[in-house]
Amino acid sequence: MANLEFTLTLSSNPEELIAYSMDYESYVNYLPDHIKNITIIKKTPEEIITEEVLEFHTIITKKIIQRSSHKRKDNVLFTEIISGPFKNSSVEVKYDAHNSGTIITLIVNLKIPLKYKILSLAIKKMYKIVLRGILYKINNEIVNSKKVGV
C-alpha cells in the first residue's frame, strides 16, 4: 500500500469546487495527456460510478481502465476504485472554507499490485500530479468564468 497526503489552498469557495469536482466527465479537458476518457456508468443521488481510461507516463507508458465509485458526504468527496489494477484504492478529498478560498486536504490510499511495485514511487508521484493538476485547473476554470461573467 502506498499512502499519500497533501493539502492545497485555492481561491474558489468549497461549494463551487465540489460542484466542478463532481463533473467527472470534464476531467478529460483538464489533463488530456493522462485522462483519455471518463464515462458515467451509473448515477444515483448517493453514488456516481465512472469508468476511466488513464494513461501513465513513467519509465514506460501504461494505459489502464478502471471503474470508480464516487460519494459525497457534506464537504468531503470519497472515491474508491472498484475494478482495475488499483482496485480497492481510495481517495478522500476534503474541502474546508478558509478566508475567501478553500483548503483542500487529499488522502490517497493506493493498493499497488505486486507487478507494479517497482514503479510505486513513480505511481505515487503521478497520482499527486494528476490530482493537483485537476484541482488547480478546476479552480482556474471557476476564476475565469467569473471574469467572463463580470
Residue 44 phi/psi, 5-degree rounding, is -130, 170
Q: What is the pLDDT of residues 54-83, one digit of tens each?
A: 887 666 677 889 999 999 999 999 999 999
pLDDT on residue 59: 64
Confidence of residue 31 (pLDDT cuts 50, 70, 90): confident
3-class DSSP assignment, residue 23: coil
Give Cα separations from 68 to 84, 96, 101 (angstroms): 9, 24, 28
Q: What is the pLDDT of residues 81-138, one digit of tens each?
A: 999 999 999 999 999 999 989 999 999 998 988 887 777 887 788 888 888 999 999 9
Query: What HEC string does 84-147 produce?
Result: CCCCCCEEEEEEEEECCEEEEEEEEEECCCHHHHHHHHHHHHHHHHHHHHHHHHHHHHHHHHHH
Which residue(s) pair with 6 in the sheet?
106
Element (H, E) at 67: strand 61-73
